[in-house]
Amino acid sequence: MGDRKVITHGLQTQFWQDIYYYAMTSSWPAFFGAIAVVFFSINLIFAGIFMLGDDPIGNLSPKGFLGAFFFSVETVATVGYGDMHPQTIYGHIVSTVEIFLGMASVALITGVMFARFSRPRSQIIFARHPVTHFKDGQEVLLIRMANARLNVISEATARLRLLRDENSPESGLFRKLHDLKLEREQHPVFALGWTIIHVIDESSPLFGLGTEILAKDNAALILSVEGVDETTSQTLRARYVYTHDTIRSNHRYANIFSAADDEGQHIDYSLFHDVEALPERQDRPA
């Protein structure tokens, strides 16, 4: 999770029972590479099957296995044969099976490609570092995020959770999630930027947890955002995990907004991840 490497033992992955998941989550080069491997494998197998028959292909050119391979490609793609055609019962049976397999494969691949293209993808960017400082006499945790697409995500909802190791006599060592209350969990029109704020008071799970405790407990912050993209009317989800060492205490985010002019409001996203240290005296409430 996040930058923390997780090694599992005792799980048996059934590739063929979860092939749709792998097709949806693989990279585009891997996806097209797998399609190419399947395509050539099918045609090589059927070319071998054709070669087992007694001259099943009429006007085979070039002669031999290479001609049977090209005939198989034309058959599985249902593009028509030209001069080459099945001329025996054996050839017609093999061609029928291959045509059926070809149509089914095209339908399946088209469906998966459409699903990959239509899958909603958010362009929400998260600041690399959460920051803490005092505001109005209270210590607060802030995380900045922005909608890089610059369109509208309506009714956006943010959730922030603390994940840490805990120990009890009954359960032993386990990982526990704590919900962190936000000053504002919803944003009706998330179009540009949004900074979520959690007050670290006595009711906060972060209260009294210093850097050493967070490190000892392998603490992490999990920020999840959900909303509706008004362009596509699809529900978008994004998540970011911050490890304990990314939190910057007594810092604030660099200002990315400049004064508006005749052209409009200027936002410098090159400063989006920058943080600035505050004077030490601001680390305590007045």
* Per-state percent for the chain, helix, strand, coil, to nearest 5: 30, 35, 35
Q: Where are the domains of the chain?
A: 19-118, 124-283
pLDDT above 80 for 97: yes
Classified by CATH at the fold level, domain 124-283 comes out as: Immunoglobulin-like (2.60.40)
Question: How far is residue 128's CA from residue 197's CA, in Å, rounded to a whole number?
Answer: 16
pLDDT above 70 for 154: yes
- For 237-266, give the DSSP string: EEEEEEEGGG-EETEEEPP-EEEEETTEEE
Let me know: does 188 contact 155? Beta carbons within 8 Å. yes
Question: How far is residue 35's CA from residue 30's CA, in Å, rounded to a whole number?
Answer: 9
Mean pLDDT value of segment 149-163: 92
In the chain, the percentage of residues whose pLDDT exceeds 70 is: 92
In this predicted structure, what is the pLDDT of residue 256? 87
pLDDT above 50 for 6: yes
Mean pLDDT value of segment 111-122: 88
In this predicted structure, what is the pLDDT of residue 59? 86
Mean pLDDT value of segment 123-135: 93
Q: Per DSSP, what are the bridge partners of residue 68?
A: none
Return contacts of 208-211, CB within 8 angstroms, 24+ apart: 211/244, 211/247, 211/249
In this predicted structure, what is the pLDDT of residue 285? 46
Question: What tokens does 174 get?
Answer: 């386990």
Let me know: does 185 contact 201? Beta carbons within 8 Å. no
Q: What are phi and psi of 49, to 5 degrees?
A: -65, -40
- Which band of pLDDT confidence, cut at 50, 70 and 90, is reported for residue 282? very low
In this predicted structure, what is the pLDDT of residue 4? 61
Is the preceding omega at residue 62 within 30 degrees of 0, hence cis? yes
pLDDT above 90 for 240: yes
pLDDT above 70 for 232: yes
Q: What are phi and psi of 21, to 5 degrees?
A: -60, -45
Higher pLDDT, residue 171 or 286: 171
In the chain, the percentage of residues whose pLDDT exceeds 90 is: 55
- Which band of pLDDT confidence, cut at 50, 70 and 90, is reported for residue 136? confident
Mean pLDDT value of segment 30-50: 94
Mean pLDDT value of segment 120-136: 91
Does an H or E element contain 212, and which? helix 211-216
Q: What separation in angstroms does the CA of 30 have from each of 21, 33, 115, 118?
A: 13, 5, 16, 18
In this predicted structure, what is the pLDDT of residue 149? 86
In this predicted structure, what is the pLDDT of residue 283? 45
pLDDT above 70 for 30: yes
Which CATH code fits 19-118? 1.10.287.70
Q: Which of 176, 140, 179 is nearest to 161 (CA)?
A: 179
Sequence letter at residue 137:
G
In this predicted structure, what is the pLDDT of residue 201? 92
In this predicted structure, what is the pLDDT of residue 48? 94
pLDDT above 50 for 124: yes
Return the exposure string of 51-85: e unless at least 16 CB atoms fall within 10 Å of the residue's CB, then b. Answer: eebeebbeebeeeeeebbbbbbbbbbbeeeeeebb
Mean pLDDT is lowest, of 48-57, 76-85, 116-125, 190-199, for 76-85
Range with top average pLDDT, 12-16, 79-83, 197-201: 197-201
